Amino acid sequence: MTATQLVACLRCNAINRVPKLRLRESPSCGKCAAALFNGHPLALDAAGFHAHVERADLPLLVDFWAPWCGPCVAMAPQFEAAAAQLEPALRLAKLDTESQPALGGRFGIRSIPTLVLFRQGRELARQAGAMGTADIVRWARHHLPD
C-alpha cells in the first residue's frame, strides 16, 4: 500500500498526488483548484477515461450505460447515491456507450448496464445488470479488499 494516491481532476484531468490520509479532507486540484471529489459520478469521455483509468491509480467504478436503456436510467439515482457513500476510496463514473462507442467496444460490453471496476488501468471485476445502492456499495467494497 502506497502512502499517496494519484487522483485525476474532475475538471481538467490533471493528475494530483494526494497523501492517502488527506483524501477525506476535501483535496483540490493543484492545477485548476477544483475539488477532486464532489460526491457525484463523473461523465467520462475518451480524455477523461485516459486520465482517470490509465493515469490515475485511484480505483474507478464505471457504469457503462445508454440513454435509451430503461434499466440504466432507473439505476442512475442508485449509482448517484453509491458515489456519495464510496468516495473518496474510489471514484464513480458513467460512460455513455452511445456517445462513446469505441470505449464500450474496447471493453467488450455486451449488455447494459454493466459495472466495471478498474484500478491502475486494469479491470478488477465486472457485473452486468442493474443493482440498488446497497448492492453497488457492497459489490465495490468486496472487490477492493483494502
Active site residues: 69, 72
Residue from the set 17, 31, 106, 138 that interacts with Zn ion by CB under 5 A:
31
Reference 88, options 42, 122, 121, 126; nearest CA is 42
Residue closer to Zn ion, measured from CB, 29 or 82: 29
Reference 45, options 70, 78, 8; nearest CA is 8
- Interface residues for Zn ion in 33-62 (CB under 5 A)? 34
69 lines the binding site for Zn ion (CB under 5 A): no
Closest distance of CB 13 from Zn ion, Å: 7
Chain positions contacting Zn ion, by CB under 5 A:
9, 11-12, 14, 29, 31-32, 34
